[in-house]
C-alpha cells in the first residue's frame, strides 16, 4: 500500500479568479460551483475548476499576496496549440526545437507549462 495517492492540483495566484478563468478558457474547463448553492465563493477563498468531461484533474487556484519570482519546480503538461494559447494571453518561454518536442509557455501570472502537439 502506498503512503499517498493523487487528489488535485493547486496553483497560487495573485488574481486567482482571473487565472482560474484563463485556464478555463484555455482548457475548456469550468468553475466548480459552491456546494451551498451560492453564486460565488468569498473573494479570499480558492477557486476550483474541473474538466466537464471528467478526464482531467481538479485544479485549485489559491489566492496569495506575492508574485511568482522564480522558475516553477512543478508544472503542467498539456496537449494543445501553442499559437492559440499565445493568442489567449500566454507568453512564449521557448519554442520546440530539434530533439525537444514541446513548447514552453507561461500563463498570465508567469507559471510555466509545456505544450505538446495534440495526439490524433
Q: What is the CATH number of the domain that holds 96?
A: 3.10.180.10
Question: Would residue 12 count as lying in a domain?
Answer: yes
Query: Beta-carbon neighbour count of residue 27 at 10 Å?
Result: 17
Q: How far is Cα of residue 47 from the mean position of the Cα atoms in its chain?
A: 12
Let me know whether 62 and 75 are in one domain.
no
pLDDT of 40 > 90? The answer is no
Sorting pLDDT into bands at 50, 70 and 90, what band is 38? confident
Mean pLDDT computed over 2-18: 95
Sheet with 112-116, side-by-side order of all strands: 76-79, 112-116, 102-106, 91-94
Question: Would residue 1 count as lying in a domain?
Answer: no
Sorting pLDDT into bands at 50, 70 and 90, what band is 57? very high
Question: How many H helices and E strands in the chain?
Answer: 2, 8
- Domain CATH number, residue 42: 3.30.720.120
Sorting pLDDT into bands at 50, 70 and 90, what band is 43? confident
Let me know whether 48 and 91 are in one domain.
no
Q: What is the mean pLDDT of the chain?
A: 93
Let me know whether 13 and 60 are in one domain.
yes
Classify the phi-psi angles of 40: left when phi > 0, otherwise alpha if psi is within -120 to 50, otherwise beta: beta
The parent domain of residue 44 ranges over: 8-66
- What pLDDT score was predicted for residue 18? 97
Let me know whether 118 and 95 are in one domain.
yes
On whether the pTM is more than 0.85, the answer is yes
Q: In the chain, how many domains are there?
A: 2
Question: Would residue 3 count as lying in a domain?
Answer: no
- What pLDDT score was predicted for residue 59? 97
Question: Would residue 2 count as lying in a domain?
Answer: no
Let me know whether 25 and 61 are in one domain.
yes
- What pLDDT score was predicted for residue 86? 98
Sorting pLDDT into bands at 50, 70 and 90, what band is 109? very high
Classify the phi-psi angles of 20: left when phi > 0, otherwise alpha if psi is within -120 to 50, otherwise beta: alpha
Let me know whether 60 and 72 are in one domain.
no
Domain-terminating residue out of 30, 47, 66 = 66
Amino acid at each position: 500500500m502506498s503512503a499517498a495517492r493523487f487528489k488535485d492540483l493547486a496553483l497560487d495566484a495573485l488574481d486567482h479568479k482571473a487565472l482560474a478563468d484563463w485556464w478555463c478558457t484555455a482548457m475548456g474547463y469550468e468553475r466548480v460551483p459552491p456546494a451551498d448553492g451560492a453564486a460565488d465563493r468569498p473573494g479570499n477563498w480558492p477557486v476550483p475548476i474541473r474538466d466537464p468531461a471528467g478526464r482531467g484533474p481538479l485544479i485549485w487556484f489559491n489566492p496569495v499576496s506575492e508574485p511568482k519570482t522564480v522558475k516553477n519546480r512543478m508544472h503542467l503538461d498539456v496537449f494543445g496549440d501553442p499559437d492559440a494559447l499565445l493568442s489567449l494571453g500566454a507568453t512564449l518561454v521557448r519554442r520546440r526545437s530539434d530533439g525537444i518536442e514541446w513548447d514552453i509557455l507561461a500563463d498570465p501570472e508567469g507559471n510555466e507549462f509545456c505544450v505538446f502537439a495534440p495526439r490524433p
